[in-house]
Amino acid sequence: MMYTEKDIMVYKDSQPWGERVLVFSPHPDDETLGVGGIISGHREHDDPVKVVVLTDGSKGGNKEERKKEAYEAMAILGVKDIEFLNIPDRELALEDKIIEIVDKIVQDYKPTLIYTPSPTEGHPDHKASAHIIWEGANRFNWNIKLAFYEVGVSIKPNTLVDITPWIKKKEMAINAYKSQMKQNPLGEKILGLNRFRSLTLPPPSQYAEALWVLLPHEIKSNTFSSLYLSLFHEQEIDMVKKKPLVSVIIRTKNRPNLLYEALKSLTMQTYKNFEAVVVNDGGEDISKILDEMRRNIIINEVVHTKSKGRGAALNNGIKAAKGELIAYLDDDDLYYPDHLSTLVSLLINTEYRVAYADAYSGFYKFDDKKKRYELDFRTLLFSSDFDKDTLLFENYIPLNSVMHYKSCLEHVGGFDTTLEIFEDWDFLIKLSRDYTFYHIPKVTAEYRIREKGSNITTSPFEQQRVAHFREIIYKRYESLRKEAALKAYDKISKRYFGEARNRYHLQVRIDELTEAIKKNIEEKKKLYKDLDNLYSQMQKKNEEIVELKAKIGQLETDNINLKRAVDEYYNSIQRIYNRLPIKILRRLKKAILALKGR
């Protein structure tokens, strides 16, 4: 049976009225943009509402003006109780001081429902707000419902609230933030989003706001990272027509909190036709956890009154399994939502009998203050294509990444109960001798490694035992290892001789190019020498030009001086000429004419 739209989309209007409400807003206006309609609805139903604005919003404008606008907007929505923490804009962070301030507000106000932006938001203050509220809820055990709302990044909601009756008030409250609307007219865009959110709601709904709501037990059973990866992971539509039952074998012993998280990741699977076969290998009673989880998934429990070991736990889990397909999940690991659907789809649509996907390695440190393990970092260590010979030398496939047909066990048998560790490696080697595995290069699970050696194979006190059982595996498959080594040698040899020929031709070409480079260098030296000569000649010519310019300057100066002297002589003659008697002038004129005639 295929899923319908109602399996992956929200078609029902939720009415969160009758709560004592606390709204956290990273900046003045986020509360109105995200849940302005819901706030107005709460107030119309006489629900107490308090709004806490975490930062001063100073990066987006004058902080006093933004505060004044917030008061005006809240008055429109019917909220009188508003508090400003005045943390500098873009400096909101997951710090103990801030978490304690928020906790005091929660303890004093005693809300039953808290709204905060979702961790998928793009703005760092929005993300920090989600993280701070999440941390406070877990650290101080707040008994509240938690609703994540959207502002700048849309979420995959599990709750829609019809806000059609209050859309006008929301629009007026948005417009009260005049300074922000001048910068970016967000109002019409947010109202467009609210219009779209009513798509799956029945008439007369025209506007809705989207939320992801968690109940108190759901908050306590997740880490912030698993919340982000699981609750906000984009759900895939399962188009598989054939839906074989998958039996997920989970072995556990005295780790109830980790088991809860593993089972929680199963409840988030997009593929629904599965059962969890939980094998309690001589550990404490886990019936309360299983009873709670049975509300969401099918669980079969196998109980060992005394511990029988890792291999026996897996074998007895498989015996109790009813599924056509077998998958594995240790109590300290996690599945991502599309894990089962990815592997099932591959196996039922191909001839392969065994498949595996990739798994992140999540490294966790113990937080003494919180008394639990917190994610330090996550990296991809397991992502290799299948090679059965490589598997003889190292196990590069985490068991929680594998799925296979149950019928495969008829050929290879089960897990070796004499091996205290590496029973999974031994099993995969046997399985690989009869079946080719298909590798799906997609991360669908997480292999969790914890500080202080609570993982069996990573504890520093277990190194001798690890070496001992690794040696057992090596000796058990020694002949296969030798064959694999010889095949690898042949492959490398052929590759080497082929590459040797290529290297010879390459070396000849390199020598030719080296000789050409040497000639170019010599030619370059000669050109530089010629250039130096030309430069020297230019220097000499420049000096001659400077000398000629100096001589020309001197001649021009002499010419000016001569002109001045001629002018002085002319003036002197003119003065003498002017003082002579007229008779002498006439005689002088005649003498001059006579001279000219000659």
Q: What is the DSSP string of 231-276?
A: ITSPPPP---S----EEEEEEESS-HHHHHHHHHHHHT-S---EEE
- All residues at 6 or more sequence positions from 16 whose CB lies less than 8 Å from its CB, including other chains: 38, 42, 113, 147, 159, 161, 213
pLDDT in tens, 195-228: 999 999 999 999 999 999 988 877 765 566 556 6
421 inside domain: yes
Coil vs helix vs strand at 176: coil
Given this model, what pLDDT does residue 235 score? 46
**Does 185 share its domain with 286?**
no
R_g of the chain computed on alpha carbons: 43
Amino acid, res. 514: T
Measured over the CA atoms of residue 463, residue 465, residue 468 and residue 474, the dihedral's sign is negative
Report the pLDDT averaged over residues 392-409.
94
594 inside domain: no
Query: For all residues of the chain together, what is the average pLDDT?
Result: 87
Given this model, what pLDDT does residue 402 score? 97
Greater confidence, 314 or 139?
314
pLDDT in tens, 551-588: 888 988 888 888 888 788 778 877 877 777 777 777 77
- All residues at 6 or more sequence positions from 228 whose CB lies less than 8 Å from its CB, including other chains: 119, 120
Instruction: Provide the CATH number for the domain around residue 408.
Output: 3.90.550.10
Q: Which of 455, 476, 497 is the last residue of a domain?
A: 476
State the burial class of residue 115 (Cβ atoms within 10 Å of its Cβ: 0-12, 13-18, 19+).
buried
The answer to whether the CB of 343 falls within 8 A of the CB of 273 is no
Report the pLDDT averaged over residues 527-543.
85
**Does 199 share its domain with 325?**
no
pLDDT in tens, 368-377: 877 777 888 8
Please give the tally of structural domains in the chain: 2
- What is the rounded distance in angstroms from the CA atom of residue 206 to the CA atom of residue 200? 10
Q: Which of 223, 157, 158 is nearest to 193 (CA)?
A: 157
Given this model, what pLDDT does residue 492 score? 56
Tell me the pairing of strands 402-405 and 354-367: antiparallel
**Least confident interval from 248-252, 331-335, 400-404, 461-465:** 461-465
169 inside domain: yes
Q: Which of 429, 461, 476 is the last residue of a domain?
A: 476
- What is the rounded distance in angstroms from the CA atom of residue 585 to the CA atom of residue 579? 10
Q: What is the DSSP string of 520-562?
A: HHHHHHHHHHHHHHHHHHHHHHHHHHHHHHHHHHHHHHHHHHH
**Does 258 share its domain with 195?**
no
527 inside domain: no
pLDDT in tens, 409-464: 988 999 999 999 999 999 999 999 999 999 999 899 999 888 754 554 455 566 88
**Does 271 share its domain with 410?**
yes
Q: Which of 459, 476, 493 is the last residue of a domain?
A: 476
Q: Please state whether the peptide bond connecting residue 204 to the residue before it is cis, i.e. omega within 30 degrees of 0.
A: yes
**Least confident interval from 57-61, 353-357, 440-444, 451-455:** 451-455
- What is the rounded distance in angstroms from the CA atom of residue 442 to the CA atom of residue 400? 14
DSSP summary character for residue 3: -
Q: Which of 215, 344, 359 is nearest to 272 (CA)?
A: 344
- All residues at 6 or more sequence positions from 115 whose CB lies less than 8 Å from its CB, including other chains: 21, 22, 23, 24, 31, 34, 35, 38, 147, 148, 149, 211
> Residues of 75-108 as b/e, b for ≥16 C-beta within 10 angstroms?
ebbbbeebebeebebbebeeeeebbebbbebbee
Q: What are phi and psi of 198, to 5 degrees?
A: -85, 0
**Does 471 share its domain with 331?**
yes
Q: Is pLDDT at 513 greater than 90 in this prediction? A: no
**Does 330 share its domain with 209?**
no
Range of the domain at 122: 8-220
212 - beta bridge partners? 148
Instruction: Provide the CATH number for the domain around residue 119.
Output: 3.40.50.10320
Given this model, what pLDDT does residue 579 score? 77
428 inside domain: yes
Report the pLDDT averaged over residues 301-310.
95
574 inside domain: no
Given this model, what pLDDT does residue 224 score? 63
- What is the rounded distance in angstroms from the CA atom of residue 272 to the CA atom of residue 278? 17
Given this model, what pLDDT does residue 461 score? 61
What is the signed CA dihedral for 492, 496, 499, 504, rounded to 10 degrees? 180
357 - beta bridge partners? 440
Q: Is pLDDT at 41 greater than 90 in this prediction? A: yes
Confidence of residue 237 (pLDDT cuts 50, 70, 90): very low
**Does 203 share its domain with 327?**
no
DSSP summary character for residue 453: G
**Does 250 share its domain with 139?**
no
Structure tokens at 358: 């990739």
Report the pLDDT averaged over residues 482-489.
78
Given this model, what pLDDT does residue 239 score? 45
Given this model, what pLDDT does residue 509 score? 76
Given this model, what pLDDT does residue 403 score? 98
Report the pLDDT averaged over residues 147-158.
92
Q: What is the DSSP string of 377-395?
A: EEEEEE-----TTGGGT--
Helix %, strand %, coil % of the chain (to 5) = 55, 20, 30
Greater confidence, 591 or 555?
555
DSSP summary character for residue 362: E
Q: How far, in Å, are 291, 359, 455, 456, 465 from residue 452 at the CA level? A: 31, 22, 8, 11, 17
Q: What are phi and psi of 249, to 5 degrees?
A: -85, 120
How far is Cα of residue 124 from the mean position of the Cα atoms in its chain? 13
**Does 258 share its domain with 209?**
no
29 inside domain: yes
**Does 262 share its domain with 216?**
no
Structure tokens at 426: 């031994």
- All residues at 6 or more sequence positions from 101 whose CB lies less than 8 Å from its CB, including other chains: 85
DSSP summary character for residue 477: T
Q: Which of 48, 50, 62, 59 is nearest to 25 (CA)?
A: 50
- What is the rounded distance in angstroms from the CA atom of residue 34 to the CA atom of residue 415? 53
- All residues at 6 or more sequence positions from 431 whose CB lies less than 8 Å from its CB, including other chains: 354, 404, 408, 412, 437
State the burial class of residue 239 (Cβ atoms within 10 Å of its Cβ: 0-12, 13-18, 19+).
exposed
Confidence of residue 236 (pLDDT cuts 50, 70, 90): very low
**Does 325 share its domain with 195?**
no
Q: How far, in Å, are 4, 248, 267, 271, 298 from residue 274 at the CA level? A: 18, 7, 10, 8, 7
566 inside domain: no
pLDDT in tens, 245-304: 999 999 999 999 999 999 999 998 989 999 999 999 999 999 999 999 998 899 999 999
The answer to whether the CB of 113 falls within 8 A of the CB of 214 is no
**Does 270 share its domain with 192?**
no
